[in-house]
Chains A and B, each alone.
Chain A
Amino acid sequence: MLKQVSFRPWLWCDALLVFVLMPTLAGATDTNQPAQSFGDLGDLTIEQLVNVKVTSVAKGQTDLFASPAAIAVVTADDIRRLGLTSIPEALRLVPGMDVAQINAAEWAVSARGFNAEFGRDLLVLIDGRTVYTPSSAGVFWDAQDVVMDDLDRIEVIRGPGATLWGANAVNGVINVISKSARETQGLLVSGSAGSVEQDSVTVRYGGELASNLYYRVYAQRSDMSDLANSNGKSSGDAWNSSLGGFRADWEPPSPNVLTLQGDYYYSEAAQPSELVSLTPPAVTLLNTSEYNQGGNILGRWTHTVSDSSQMTLQTYYDHVEQNTGFGIEYLNTYDIDLQDRFSLGSWNDFVWGTGYRYQDVDDTPSFELTWLPQTQHLRLFNIFAQDDIKIVPDRLHLILGNKFEDNSLVQWEVEPNGRLLWTPTESQTLWAAVSRAARTPSLFELDTRLNAAAFQPAPASPPALVSVFGNPNSTAEKLLAYEAGYRVEPVRSLSFDLTGFYNVYQHLLVQVANPTAIETSPAPTHLLISSSYMNAGAGDTYGVELSSQWRVFENWRLTASYSWLGTRLTPVSDFAQSPQQQFQLRSYLDLPYHLELNGAVYLVGRSTGPLSAGFEEIPSYVRADLGLIWSPRKWLQVGLWGENLLQSEHIEFSSQETPALTEVPRSVLAKVTVRF
């Protein structure tokens, strides 16, 4: 089945039908055990009870099933089974998520439309620390390397989460959560080799310093090979990343838990960049080796009084030195947050919080990109409150919340939301929500001048310079979102999750052309063809996201999801078009002899970046990944994965930076993990 090479989706789906029906027929004999009700089971002996497998739903999962938002979780098990090596690759698993690899080091990640290198409407937090950059409004994914083995889960909320998470949580919030040091005790050494992720070595050691005080230290080094572009040449985008850090958790048998963690990373990436000049040659393409580095330290105190009463105080410092392709950006972030949850009588679960963030951003200017002023000081203060009102206990909840946020760049923002949650039975959830969210303009959209290109219009004429200007009068983009969802678990082994949304956007920032002018400085005198950011875009998006999990047998799980997205934004050509349709099917199969066979197929519809900016259309593609894991001993695991097995290469994203698009190739990865 996996040998199907040509792209004919309908054939694929027929194959999938067989795939799905086969076990149904085979399973018929297995399910015909005599029915026995629970009440008759009182005679089970103690020896029998010890071996009964329970189908309990963990606390978190219960909350997930009955949560009034489009929430999905990528688990540590997903990451391990599919041999995922980066956060963006793990985000592919989320229903409706648009993940496209730009080149070896860069990904475009978004939810519900607007895909771009900087998925500007997604807020990303790693262990509670924001990695959203204020200068370009997005995430440098290559600077977010983590030890994948130490991740507990990645929680993704599609749709606005601004009331709890703040500005820029417009189309989604991604929470990357690592395991407590208590759960990562002992030595872990893993090494991998492959055709794209060439080699990677991770060493982690966890121990107990004192009673209930756990720690881990880790180091990781990865080398990624360069990818080929559509001209068959190297994209010159090889990179490497070195990472080290620690985490300590003090978890005494008291209501207090203390966490202290820190990271430092250094990465080198050979990235294509452009040199623009008013004297010939107008544009020089360069493949320069850039370095990025950064570090952070975070402390968190959680005081839990009961299930419904908890207080968290968190503070961190984060330093980033990121080469933007035009110069180096230095970003320092100081952040403190307090969150307090408690019950108000038996009807209300109340949560409130407040936070303050100070950031200084310094960008070295170049002819291509200048920042005015060069150094910026950003202050962000927020306060929020949300009440979960039990109208009918365990059945009907009304959730009302609001956040006030004061950003030194723009005026006050108000980000309210209202949600209704109805759980008519334990196995069904219906929810609906209306929320408002805002995206703060990036520094790039406010205060920069980008000289993007230069050319000679005619042999004797002065040169022409193409520039983009930030607009200091830019205001925040606004979203009003309507969402509704239904989850059902018809039987223990099968569940469905359906979400629909309708998003109305206003004041979207787009580039509006200025009249052509003559500029004398910098010399020589030249024509200036420029555009400026204006809050001139608007429109709506709508769509559905359906996912299903099916435990076919105790040892076989299938997960499928389908999403459909409609976009009506004006001006049309100024916005990226995410794929209209996406489908994925994942299969996790446990085999005898300690083997696991895991596979995933992704069908992604065609997409395009903003056509006015010269982006090309990306055709639809199919990805198929297949992996075999062998765990002969408790301490040893060997895995072999093949990725993109169906096509020798495909393009996932159109980037302006390179004349030829980078192709994602077929690849293999082998990994050995040893734990003591």
Chain B
Amino acid sequence: MNKSRFQHHSLRGQHWLAQVIAWAACLGLWCESCLVGRAEGSLTEYQVKALYLLNFIKYVDWPPNTIAGSNAPTTIGLCGESKLGEALKIVAAGKSIGGRLIAIREIGATNDFSPCQILFISDAESFRMRQILEKASALPILTVGEGAAFAQNGGIINFVLKNGTVRLEINLSAAKKAGLTISSRLLAVADVVKGKAD
């Protein structure tokens, strides 16, 4: 090995560095152009989940007189910290579905979700899941979760991430127990799963 060969091959650092900086600058330019013309087509997981919750109001029938008073809103309860709350507030603001506005209620440790029609139990609450489901299952509440085996454990609808999309699992016997009817249009896009109790 002779040293001159090494020198011949040695990196000319300055050229290289200058080019890398130019490359980075181009990336920056691209990024700016992309900020200007950015497409808003893609949604986050929690934005999609929030949109689903609104749709559930349309495609689920609660027993008559579940909501007292014709002007009272449909109440969505949120159990556990989640980015869904923020997304839901934005998308539900001022909307009325079936002639009712939408109220969002954060459920604390007291588990007082009796005024809710929909109860979302976030992944963060997965270890209180059974306790919450036990209490909610006898009430006309659509329980919605996102944990492993949520529907199998007696939840009614579970969000599942599949190939970058949010899909649904529905436990029909749990829905029946709660006195809810789920429209065929909703069932058509969901996987029907059996609960462990079935």
CB contacts (< 8 Å) of B39 on chain A: these are: 30-33, 35
The answer to whether A42 and B51 touch (CB under 8 A), given A9-B16, A47-B189, A306-B127, is: yes
CB contacts (< 8 Å) of A661 on chain B: these are: 1
Q: How large is the interface on A (under 10, 10 to 19, 20 to 34, 35 or more residues)?
A: 35 or more
**B71 to chain A: closest CB distance in Å?**
21
In whole angstroms, how far apart are the Cα atoms of A14 and B23 in the complex?
A: 8
**A491 to chain B: closest CB distance in Å?**
6
Tell me the residues in window 29-55 of chain A with beta carbons closer than 8 Å to chain B beta carbons: 30-33, 35-39, 41-42, 44-47, 49-55
Most chain B Cβ neighbours within 10 Å, of A30, A46, A491: A46
The answer to whether A46 and B43 touch (CB under 8 A), given A16-B23, A493-B34, is: no
In whole angstroms, how far apart are the Cα atoms of A380 and B46 in the complex?
A: 46
Q: Mark A149-186, 1 if CB is under 8 A from B, else 0.
A: 00000000000000000000000000000000000000
CB contacts (< 8 Å) of A21 on chain B: these are: 26, 30
The residue of chain A having its C-beta at the shortest distance from the C-beta of B41 within the complex is A33
CB contacts (< 8 Å) of B124 on chain A: these are: 306-307
Is B98 part of the binding interface, using a Cβ–Cβ cutoff of 8 Å?
no
Interface-located stretch among A324-332, A440-448, A519-527, A612-620: A612-620
In whole angstroms, how far apart are the Cα atoms of A580 and B93 in the complex?
A: 55
In whole angstroms, how far apart are the Cα atoms of A46 and B182 in the complex?
A: 13
CB contacts (< 8 Å) of B9 on chain A: these are: 7, 606, 619-621
Whether the pair B51, A49 counts as a contact (CB closer than 8 A) is: yes
The residue of chain B having its C-beta at the shortest distance from the C-beta of A490 within the complex is B31
Whether the pair A491, B31 counts as a contact (CB closer than 8 A) is: yes
Is A17 part of the binding interface, using a Cβ–Cβ cutoff of 8 Å?
yes
Which one, A31, A41, A307, A546, contacts B34 given CB within 8 A?
A31
CB contacts (< 8 Å) of A49 on chain B: these are: 48, 51-52, 55, 166
In whole angstroms, how far apart are the Cα atoms of A307 and B124 in the complex?
A: 6
The answer to whether A36 and B40 touch (CB under 8 A), given A9-B15, A14-B19, A255-B127, is: yes
Tell me the residues in window 20-44 of chain B with beta carbons closer than 8 Å to chain A beta carbons: 20, 22-24, 26-27, 29-31, 33-35, 37-44
The residue of chain A having its C-beta at the shortest distance from the C-beta of B148 within the complex is A253
Is B153 part of the binding interface, using a Cβ–Cβ cutoff of 8 Å?
yes
Whether the pair B44, A46 counts as a contact (CB closer than 8 A) is: no
Whether the pair B55, A581 counts as a contact (CB closer than 8 A) is: no
Whether the pair A24, B91 counts as a contact (CB closer than 8 A) is: no
CB contacts (< 8 Å) of A306 on chain B: these are: 124, 127
CB contacts (< 8 Å) of B87 on chain A: these are: 38
In whole angstroms, how far apart are the Cα atoms of A175 and B150 in the complex?
A: 31
Which one, A16, A56, A253, A493, contacts B153 given CB within 8 A?
A253
In whole angstroms, how far apart are the Cα atoms of A21 and B25 in the complex?
A: 11
CB contacts (< 8 Å) of A605 on chain B: these are: 11, 13
Is A75 part of the binding interface, using a Cβ–Cβ cutoff of 8 Å?
no
Tell me the residues in window 162-198 of chain B with beta carbons closer than 8 Å to chain A beta carbons: 164-168, 185-186, 189
In whole angstroms, how far apart are the Cα atoms of A39 and B94 in the complex?
A: 10
CB contacts (< 8 Å) of A617 on chain B: these are: 3, 6
The residue of chain A having its C-beta at the shortest distance from the C-beta of B89 within the complex is A39
Whether the pair B13, A46 counts as a contact (CB closer than 8 A) is: no
In whole angstroms, how far apart are the Cα atoms of A50 and B165 in the complex?
A: 7
CB contacts (< 8 Å) of A52 on chain B: these are: 42-43, 48, 165-166
In whole angstroms, how far apart are the Cα atoms of A33 and B37 in the complex?
A: 8
**B162 to chain A: closest CB distance in Å?**
10
Is B138 part of the binding interface, using a Cβ–Cβ cutoff of 8 Å?
no
Is B17 part of the binding interface, using a Cβ–Cβ cutoff of 8 Å?
yes
Is B54 part of the binding interface, using a Cβ–Cβ cutoff of 8 Å?
yes
Is A603 part of the binding interface, using a Cβ–Cβ cutoff of 8 Å?
yes
Most chain A Cβ neighbours within 10 Å, of B22, B24, B51: B51
Q: How large is the interface on B (under 10, 10 to 19, 20 to 34, 35 or more residues)?
A: 35 or more
The answer to whether A581 and B17 touch (CB under 8 A), given A20-B26, A20-B30, A53-B42, is: yes
Is B112 part of the binding interface, using a Cβ–Cβ cutoff of 8 Å?
no
CB contacts (< 8 Å) of B15 on chain A: these are: 9-10
In whole angstroms, how far apart are the Cα atoms of A52 and B51 in the complex?
A: 11
Tell me the residues in window 548-588 of chain A with beta carbons closer than 8 Å to chain B beta carbons: 548, 550, 560, 562, 580-581, 583
Is B103 part of the binding interface, using a Cβ–Cβ cutoff of 8 Å?
no
CB contacts (< 8 Å) of B43 on chain A: these are: 38, 41, 52, 54-55
Whether the pair B12, A13 counts as a contact (CB closer than 8 A) is: no
Which one, A20, A41, A56, contacts B161 given CB within 8 A?
A56
**B126 to chain A: closest CB distance in Å?**
8
Which one, A30, A39, A550, A616, contacts B1 given CB within 8 A?
A616
Is A84 part of the binding interface, using a Cβ–Cβ cutoff of 8 Å?
no
Whether the pair A44, B51 counts as a contact (CB closer than 8 A) is: yes
In whole angstroms, how far apart are the Cα atoms of A30 and B18 in the complex?
A: 31
Is A377 part of the binding interface, using a Cβ–Cβ cutoff of 8 Å?
no
The residue of chain A having its C-beta at the shortest distance from the C-beta of B186 within the complex is A46
CB contacts (< 8 Å) of B42 on chain A: these are: 52-55, 492
In whole angstroms, how far apart are the Cα atoms of A27 and B31 in the complex?
A: 12
CB contacts (< 8 Å) of B30 on chain A: these are: 20-21, 24
**A33 to chain B: closest CB distance in Å?**
4
Tell me the residues in window 76-101 of chain B with beta carbons closer than 8 Å to chain A beta carbons: 87, 90-93, 95
Most chain A Cβ neighbours within 10 Å, of B5, B15, B17, B23: B23
Whether the pair A491, B12 counts as a contact (CB closer than 8 A) is: no
Q: Mark A606-632, 1 if CB is under 8 A from B, else 0.
A: 100000000011011100000000000
CB contacts (< 8 Å) of B95 on chain A: these are: 42
In whole angstroms, how far apart are the Cα atoms of A35 and B3 in the complex?
A: 60
In whole angstroms, how far apart are the Cα atoms of A54 and B87 in the complex?
A: 14
In whole angstroms, how far apart are the Cα atoms of A122 and B31 in the complex?
A: 36
**B163 to chain A: closest CB distance in Å?**
8
**B39 to chain A: closest CB distance in Å?**
4
In whole angstroms, how far apart are the Cα atoms of A24 and B37 in the complex?
A: 12
Whether the pair A54, B161 counts as a contact (CB closer than 8 A) is: yes
Is B61 part of the binding interface, using a Cβ–Cβ cutoff of 8 Å?
no
Whether the pair B38, A619 counts as a contact (CB closer than 8 A) is: no
In whole angstroms, how far apart are the Cα atoms of A42 and B88 in the complex?
A: 10
In whole angstroms, how far apart are the Cα atoms of A46 and B60 in the complex?
A: 12
Is A230 part of the binding interface, using a Cβ–Cβ cutoff of 8 Å?
yes
| Known interface pairs A46-B186, A253-B148, A603-B11; 10 further A-B residue pairs with C-beta atoms within 8 A, sorted by A's residue number | A24-B26, A24-B33, A35-B39, A42-B91, A44-B51, A50-B165, A50-B189, A54-B48, A581-B17, A619-B10
Can you list 16 A-B contacts with CB-CB less than 8 angstroms, sorted by A residue number? Answer: A9-B11, A10-B15, A14-B19, A17-B22, A31-B34, A31-B38, A39-B93, A50-B167, A50-B168, A54-B45, A54-B48, A55-B43, A56-B45, A230-B1, A253-B148, A548-B27
